[in-house]
Chain A
Amino acid sequence: DIQMTQSPSSLSASVGDRVTITCRASQTISSYLNWYQQKPGKAPKLLIYAASNLRSGVPSRFSGSGSGTDFTLTISSLQPEDFATYYCQQSYNTPCTFGQGTKLEIK
């Protein structure tokens, strides 16, 4: 299985901050990388697919980049509704696997 490792595991930031979350794959996955946002008690929501494609309806302050083994999710200016847990997921091969999550908390 491809292991997905996110860093940091948790992060404290303030409204308006620029935040970057990193996801590293244990082998190359080209651009087969998705990002999800999950709030407590809710299902995950797709933010970014194929590493850098913003899902329709997702605010433009979210962006993704990377290819191969290293990927980033950037939030350019944190809003109160962005405090949540973020997961990366590889869709390169089976089984698809998720990172362990990055919990973004209010400072």
Chain B
Amino acid sequence: QLQLQESGPGLVKPSETLSLTCTVSDGSISSSYYYWGWIRQPPGKGLEWIGNIYYSGSTDYNPSLRSRVSISVDTSENQFSLRLTSVTAGDTAVYYCARRAYSYSSYWYFDLWGRGTLVTVSS
């Protein structure tokens, strides 16, 4: 079954840029049926959607993060990536990548998730 795996630094300094990659295995990121997303979860708190990307490169971002976030896709490597600039301690969280799948009548959901990676923002 298709799997997702996050990778990247676990520690980022304040004001610097957080960069993570999600590698998709046992399946193609270029499928027309799916979008690919990032969700984060601060320690002990709830879930926050960051953004999505389609294999064509079309993106959608949470307005609360739009000025600092970018998501890109590399279909040749079967990967998509997250960049979050000017980070603060408030960006400390477990970052998940996930597949967004569609059902009938445009209903959609996150049906597959990576294991998550903790990113701590600290000097």
CB within 8 Å of B: which residues of A? 1, 31-32, 34, 36, 42-46, 49-50, 53, 55, 87, 89, 91, 94-101
Contact of B103 among A49, A87, A101 (CB under 8 A): A49
- B54-70, CB under 8 A of A: which get 1 and which 0? 00000010111000000
Looking at the assembled complex, report how far the CB atom of A43 sits from the nearest CB atom of chain B, in whole angstroms.
4
Stretch with Cβ within 8 A of A (4 or more), from B9-17, B75-83, B105-113: B105-113
The interface on chain B, measured as residues whose beta carbon lies within 8 A of the other chain's beta carbons, has a size of: 22
The answer to whether residues A91 and B109 also contact, given A96-B49, A100-B46 and a CB cut-off of 8 A, is yes
Q: How far is the CA of A27 from the CA of B116 in the complex (A)?
A: 31
Looking at the assembled complex, report how far the CB atom of B62 sits from the nearest CB atom of chain A, in whole angstroms.
4
- B29-64, CB under 8 A of A: which get 1 and which 0? 000000000000000001111000000000010111
| A46 close to B63 (CB less than 8 A) | no
Classify the interface of chain A: helix, strand, loop or mixed: loop
| B49 close to A44 (CB less than 8 A) | no
Q: Which residues of B contact A31 (CB under 8 A)?
A: 107
Q: Which residues of B contact A44 (CB under 8 A)?
A: 47, 96, 110, 113
| B107 close to A98 (CB less than 8 A) | no
Contact of B47 among A42, A49, A87, A94 (CB under 8 A): A87
CB-CB nearest 3 A-B residue pairs: A43-B113, A50-B107, A98-B47
Q: How far is the CA of A34 from the CA of B64 in the complex (A)?
A: 22
Q: Which residues of A contact B111 (CB under 8 A)?
A: 46, 55
Q: How far is the CA of A3 from the CA of B37 in the complex (A)?
A: 20
Q: Which residues of A contact B49 (CB under 8 A)?
A: 95-98
Q: Which residues of A contact B110 (CB under 8 A)?
A: 34, 36, 44, 46, 89
Q: How far is the CA of A55 from the CA of B110 in the complex (A)?
A: 11
Looking at the assembled complex, report how far the CB atom of B110 sits from the nearest CB atom of chain A, in whole angstroms.
6
| B46 close to A53 (CB less than 8 A) | no
| B47 close to A43 (CB less than 8 A) | no
Q: Which residues of B contact A95 (CB under 8 A)?
A: 49, 62-64
Q: Which residues of A contact B116 (CB under 8 A)?
A: 43
Q: Which residue of B lies closest to A6 (CB)?
A: B46
